[in-house]
Each structure stands twice: as structure tokens, then as C-alpha cells.
Amino acid sequence: MAKNFLILGILNLLFCIALGAFGAHGLKQILSGEMLTVYHTGVQYHFYHAFGIIIIGLLLLHFPKSRLIPISGWLMMSGIILFSFSLYVLSLTGMRGIGMITPFGGVSFLSAWGLLAYAIWKENVQSMRI
């Protein structure tokens, strides 16, 4: 499971960097300043949570029996899809209605980090693999 989250996080970083470069170079002349900011916000949170997924993978190397840590990782991935991708679609299409999905992604991000803190707090230090 740790390896899967490490790969998922790394692939998200790769995708995020490509989207960021596309936004910086390919969309500068196409999107309004407001929509470019929306796009950039999607990339920024995508980037943070791609790193978060990598952290999940690393934590699973130390807490391989945890059931809560992987849930936190899937919540981060859900947040990327709901938050970042809704902002990508909004900025590229102007479909304001898609913005109704974005807060669910934010709640997913918050839930992921809160659950991760709880999972680490709950783990028995003796069960930690070093």
C-alpha cells in the first residue's frame, strides 16, 4: 500500500508540474487574469496534496498496519479531483456551476489532514517499523 501511495503522489506531482507549466506558458494569453488566478489556485492545492500523498506513502512504511492513514490518502486524492480539477474546468470553460463542487474538495482536504493527525496520534509507537 505504501508503494501505491508513493507512486500516486509522484504521478500527481508530475501531472501538477505539467499543468502548472501549461498554465504559465500556454494559458497566459488565453485566460483573463481572474481565471488564470483560479487555475493557479487549482495547481497550488494540487501540488500541496500531491506531496501530502507522498507523505502518506512514507508514513505507511512506518505504520504498515494503520487503517486510517490510507483513508487519509484517498481523501487527499478525492480533494485533488473535486477541488483542483473543478478549478481547472472552471478556469478553462467559464462554467461557473462547476464551482459548486470545489468546497467538497476543500472539505476532503481538511478531513484528510485531520484524520491523518488522529491516525498518527492513535498509533502505538511500539508498532512503528524503523
Taking only the tens place, the pLDDT of each residue in 38-48 is 999 999 999 99
| pLDDT for res 125 | 60
The C-alpha cell that represents 80 in the structure block: 485533488
**pLDDT greater at residue 72 or residue 124:** 72
Residue that has been written with the C-alpha cell 485566460 in this structure: 31
Q: Is the pLDDT confidence value at 82 over 80?
A: yes
Confidence of residue 129 (pLDDT cuts 50, 70, 90): low
Q: According to the model, what pLDDT value does residue 123 have? A: 84
Helix locations, the chain, DSSP H: 2-21, 33-62, 68-79, 85-93, 102-122
**Mean pLDDT of the 90-106 span:** 94
Residue 127 pLDDT > 70, yes or no?
no
* Res 130: pLDDT: 55
Average pLDDT, the chain: 94
Distance CA(8)–CA(4), nearest Å, equals 6
Q: What is the pTM of this model?
A: 0.90
Q: Which residues contact 4 (CB under 8 A, 6 or more apart)?
A: 57
Average pLDDT over residues 37-59: 97
